[in-house]
């Protein structure tokens, strides 16, 4: 006989947090949001921890290399979308890894035999102010000079003029050598009034460029999520079909952590994929999505480093309507959290869980953390920002950005779904939509983070672990939801507009 769950499954909006005593030490500036993303043994530290509990969704309209860099600068992580060719996804990962905080691998490079026309073409294409001149025209070739706009005059110089005739030659350059620290590089930049400092090894091979503006931005980003090499940490989505080709390429590109992207993760396909990755590579891997204890334990036994929770709650998701599967996000999280804590008690291994989908208000993030999530994954939230990959459009008087589900026809992500071997989507599980444009990631994130920290102070918690331990969470009735908004007053805006 079928098993029934006769309690309704709940969403975040059905809960509120009850304040605990706020001590004087409990202030937003004292709250730390560091959180584990990979499993670890009791008493040890996770190999990877986030500085803020945010990850961006594995979606074409959300997580490319630009958003990944911007989010890593703020302390969170992106999982670059997998619904693209292996080469394109690996190239995006490589771009994030090359964007070493403050140290940049040169992207505009020519040889001394190129011409002024080549310089101008390259500048138009890349919009970079500095071109590195190396013996073979590669970013790691022997550095022979640098060209900036101060080295030529378009009105006077012939377009055929060779670079070697007008570049600033290596002998006249101020440069740093391998091993130089960022503050040391910055001292040289200031001392010599430079815009850019090349870093070379002992054979004069170009390593990095350090730009004055990047040093400033590095100082503004104290929470940057960096690996031991000072490169940004980045994730990537994979699927259970082509992992044999995709994973080696992503690992080669330097990916730090993978996640299997699927609407239903409780499957033998996921177990096989996790086992393959664990047997062949030294890279972290998360799996999901699940909504109950059994699904969680299955993926943990398979070896997952973290588990993602949520089916059907995503803003663009129509899985529940199409297939009738899913569970309210809060109920799913509460059950998986219980299973995780029990697993920790029994084995001493803490497996982080990620609440994926359905975050609408900032307080939903705090609730998710209180209910046991170590971090959240969001699509709609990040799709609204300048840094997401989609175009900003004007509709009527409003600016919007496009946002489409990985299960929509537009994404053509048949690998994410079990299409019974068909290389096509048989039916859609997501929609193609707009979201209101909201400006820069940094500005919005700062506000959201401040709200989370301030709520955590109301709950008497200076860390996510304390919040998970201390939170008191109450169900709300339908009528108290009315009480929660502005009520029984005449809103000035609507009375003025005559509505
Ligand atoms: P959001 O933050 O509410 O927009 O939810 C984002 C999440 O929705 C993603 O991380 C995925 O787990 C999920 N998702 C993405 N595309 C689809 C889709 O087309 N159908 C169903 N779920 C999707």
Q: Give the C-alpha separation, 164 to 429, whole Å.
A: 57
In a domain, 490, yes or no: no
Which residues lie closer than 8 Å to 119 by C-beta, 6 or more apart? 110, 131, 147, 152, 163
467/367 same-domain check: yes
125/251 same-domain check: no
Residue 370 has pLDDT above 90, yes or no: yes
Which among 13, 311, 314, 376 is the best mutation to test ligand 1's pocket, defined by most ligand atoms within 8 Å of the CB? 314
| Spacing, Cα 55 to ligand 1 middle (Å) | 13
Is 310 annotated as contributing to ligand binding?
yes
- Kindly compute the dihedral angle of the four CA atoms of residues 319, 325, 330, 333, in this order, to the nearest 10 degrees: -110
Is 262 annotated as contributing to ligand binding?
yes
Range of the domain at 137: 109-220
Both tokens of 389, joined, read 């990959």
Residue 44 has pLDDT above 60, yes or no: yes
User: Which ligand 1 atom lies nearest to the CA of residue 381?
Assistant: 2
| Spacing, Cα 316 to ligand 1 middle (Å) | 6
pLDDT bin (cut points 50, 70, 90) of residue 427 is: confident
The protein residue whose alpha carbon is closest to atom 21 in ligand 1 is 317
pLDDT bin (cut points 50, 70, 90) of residue 451 is: very high
pLDDT of residue 278: 98
**More confident position, 181 or 432:** 432
Q: Give the C-alpha separation, 322 to 311, whole Å.
A: 12
pLDDT bin (cut points 50, 70, 90) of residue 365 is: very high
Average pLDDT over residues 435-464: 96
Residue 360 has pLDDT above 70, yes or no: yes
Which among 406, 412, 438 is the best mutation to test ligand 1's pocket, defined by most ligand atoms within 8 Å of the CB? 406
CATH number at residue 341: 3.20.20.70
pLDDT of residue 155: 86
| Spacing, Cα 357 to ligand 1 middle (Å) | 6
pLDDT of residue 447: 97
Is residue 464 within 8 Å of residue 53, measured between CB atoms? yes
| Spacing, Cα 405 to ligand 1 middle (Å) | 6
User: Which ligand 1 atom lies nearest to the CA of residue 319?
Assistant: 21
166/72 same-domain check: no
The residue out of 173, 194, 220 marking a domain boundary is 220
366/434 same-domain check: yes
396/316 same-domain check: yes
Average pLDDT over residues 270-278: 98
In a domain, 309, yes or no: yes
User: Which ligand 1 atom lies nearest to the CA of residue 431?
Assistant: 19
Q: Which residues are catalytic?
A: 317, 416
Question: pLDDT tens digit string along 63-111?
Answer: 999 999 999 999 999 999 999 999 999 999 999 998 766 777 787 899 9
Average pLDDT over residues 47-63: 98
121/83 same-domain check: no
**Within its chain, how far is the Cα of 283 from the centroid?**
17
Residue 269 has pLDDT above 70, yes or no: yes
Residue 220 has pLDDT above 90, yes or no: no
Is residue 474 helix, strand or coil?
strand
pLDDT bin (cut points 50, 70, 90) of residue 152 is: very high
Burial bucket for residue 458 (CB in 10 Å: 0-12, 13-18, 19+): middle
The residue out of 220, 247, 276 marking a domain boundary is 220
Is residue 198 helix, strand or coil?
strand
**More confident position, 348 or 187:** 348
Is 314 annotated as contributing to ligand binding?
yes
Q: Give the C-alpha separation, 182 to 414, whole Å.
A: 44
Beta 99-100 vs 103-104: how paired, if at all? antiparallel
415/402 same-domain check: yes
pLDDT bin (cut points 50, 70, 90) of residue 178 is: confident
Task: Report the Cα–Cα distance between both ends of the chain, in Å, rounded.
Answer: 54
The residue out of 195, 220, 245 marking a domain boundary is 220
Is residue 107 within 8 Å of residue 128, measured between CB atoms? yes
Integer CA distances (angstroms), 122 to 126, 130, 160, 168, in order: 6, 10, 15, 18
In a domain, 1, yes or no: no
User: Which ligand 1 atom lies nearest to the CA of residue 360?
Assistant: 3
pLDDT of residue 221: 83
190/228 same-domain check: no
The candidate with the shortest Cα–Cα distance to 88, out of 244, 238, 250, 232, is: 250
Average pLDDT over residues 22-35: 96
User: Which ligand 1 atom lies nearest to the CA of residue 380?
Assistant: 4
pLDDT bin (cut points 50, 70, 90) of residue 235 is: very high
Residue 499 has pLDDT above 60, yes or no: no
In a domain, 497, yes or no: no
In a domain, 5, yes or no: no
Average pLDDT, the chain: 93
| Spacing, Cα 482 to ligand 1 middle (Å) | 28
The protein residue whose alpha carbon is closest to atom 22 in ligand 1 is 317
Residue 22 has pLDDT above 80, yes or no: yes
DSSP 16: E
Average pLDDT over residues 387-392: 93
pTM: 0.83
258/325 same-domain check: yes
Average pLDDT over residues 189-205: 93
- Name, of 153-157, 193-197, 365-369, 389-393, the range with top average pLDDT: 365-369
In a domain, 118, yes or no: yes
| Spacing, Cα 315 to ligand 1 middle (Å) | 6
Which among 13, 55, 59, 402 is the best mutation to test ligand 1's pocket, defined by most ligand atoms within 8 Å of the CB? 59
CATH number at residue 118: 3.10.580.10
328/353 same-domain check: yes
In a domain, 436, yes or no: yes
pLDDT of residue 179: 84
326/366 same-domain check: yes
Question: pLDDT tens digit string along 329-345?
Answer: 999 999 999 999 999 99
**Within its chain, how far is the Cα of 17 from the centroid?**
27
User: Which ligand 1 atom lies nearest to the CA of residue 315?
Assistant: 3
- The set of protein residues with a Cβ atom below 6 angstroms from ligand 1 is 57, 59, 263, 314-317, 319, 356-359, 377-381, 405-408, 429-430
| Spacing, Cα 421 to ligand 1 middle (Å) | 23
| Adjacent-strand bridge partners of 284 | 257
- Kindly compute the dihedral angle of the four CA atoms of residues 82, 83, 88, 94, in this order, to the nearest 10 degrees: -20
Residue 498 has pLDDT above 50, yes or no: no
Residue 30 has pLDDT above 90, yes or no: yes
Helix then strand then coil, % of the chain, to nearest 5: 35, 20, 40
pLDDT of residue 393: 94
Is 196 annotated as contributing to ligand binding?
no
Question: pLDDT tens digit string along 288-311?
Answer: 999 999 999 999 999 999 999 999
In a domain, 451, yes or no: yes
Report the domain count for the chain.
2
DSSP per position, 146-181: EE-GGG--TTTS-TT-BHHHHSEEGGG---EETT--
∠ CA 99-103-104, nearest 5°, is: 50
Is residue 216 within 8 Å of residue 88, measured between CB atoms? no
Question: pLDDT tens digit string along 406-424?
Answer: 999 888 887 777 655 666 7
Which among 11, 289, 379 is the best mutation to test ligand 1's pocket, defined by most ligand atoms within 8 Å of the CB? 379
Is residue 274 helix, strand or coil?
helix
272/402 same-domain check: yes
């Amino acid at each position: 006989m079928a098993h029934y769950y006769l309690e309704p499954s709940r969403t975040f909006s059905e809960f509120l947090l009850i304040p605990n005593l706020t001590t004087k030490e409990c202030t937003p500036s004292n709250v730390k949001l560091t959180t584990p993303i990979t499993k670890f043994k009791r008493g040890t530290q996770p190999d990877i921890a986030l500085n803020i509990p945010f990850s961006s969704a594995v979606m074409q309209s959300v997580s490319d290399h630009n958003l990944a860099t911007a989010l890593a600068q703020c302390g969170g992580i992106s999982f670059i979308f997998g619904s693209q060719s292996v080469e394109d996804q690996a190239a995006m990962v490589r771009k994030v890894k090359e964007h070493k905080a403050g140290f940049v691998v040169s992207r505009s490079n020519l040889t001394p035999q190129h011409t002024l026309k080549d310089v101008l073409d390259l500048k138009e294409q890349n919009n970079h102010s500095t071109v590195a001149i190396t013996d073979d025209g590669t970013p790691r070739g022997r550095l022979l000079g640098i060209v900036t706009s101060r080295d030529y005059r378009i009105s006077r110089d012939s377009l055929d003029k060779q670079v070697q005739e007008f570049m600033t030659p290596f002998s006249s350059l101020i440069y740093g050598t391998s091993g130089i620290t960022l503050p040391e590089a910055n001292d040289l930049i200031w001392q010599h009034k430079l815009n850019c400092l090349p870093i070379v090894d002992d054979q004069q091979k170009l390593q990095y460029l350090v730009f004055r503006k990047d040093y400033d931005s590095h100082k503004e980003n104290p929470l940057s999520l960096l690996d031991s090499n000072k490169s940004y940490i980045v994730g990537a989505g994979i699927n259970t079909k082509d992992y044999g080709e995709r994973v080696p390429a992503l690992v080669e590109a330097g990916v730090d952590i993978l996640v299997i992207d699927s609407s239903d993760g409780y499957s033998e396909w996921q177990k096989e994929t996790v086992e393959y990755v664990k047997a062949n590579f030294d890279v972290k891997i998360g799996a999901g999505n699940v909504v109950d204890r059994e699904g969680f334990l299955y993926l943990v036994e398979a070896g997952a480093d973290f588990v993602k929770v949520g089916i059907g709650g995503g803003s663009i998701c129509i899985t529940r309507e199409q297939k009738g599967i899913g569970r309210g996000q809060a109920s799913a999280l509460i059950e998986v959290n219980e299973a995780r804590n029990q697993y920790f008690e029994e084995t001493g291994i803490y497996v982080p869980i990620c609440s994926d989908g359905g975050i609408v208000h900032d307080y939903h993030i705090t609730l998710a953390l209180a209910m046991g999530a170590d971090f959240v994954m969001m699509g709609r939230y990040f799709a609204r920002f300048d840094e997401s990959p989609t175009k900003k459009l004007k509709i009527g008087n409003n600016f919007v950005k496009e946002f489409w589900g990985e299960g929509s026809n537009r994404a053509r992500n048949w690998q994410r779904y079990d299409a019974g071997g068909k290389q096509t989507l048989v039916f859609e599980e997501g929609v193609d939509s707009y979201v209101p444009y909201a400006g820069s990631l940094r500005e919005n994130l700062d506000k959201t983070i401040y709200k989370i920290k301030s709520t955590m102070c109301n709950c008497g918690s200076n860390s996510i672990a304390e919040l998970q331990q201390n939170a008191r969470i109450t169900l709300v009735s339908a009528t108290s939801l009315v009480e929660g908004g502005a009520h029984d007053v005449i809103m000035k805006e609507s009375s003025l507009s005559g509505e």
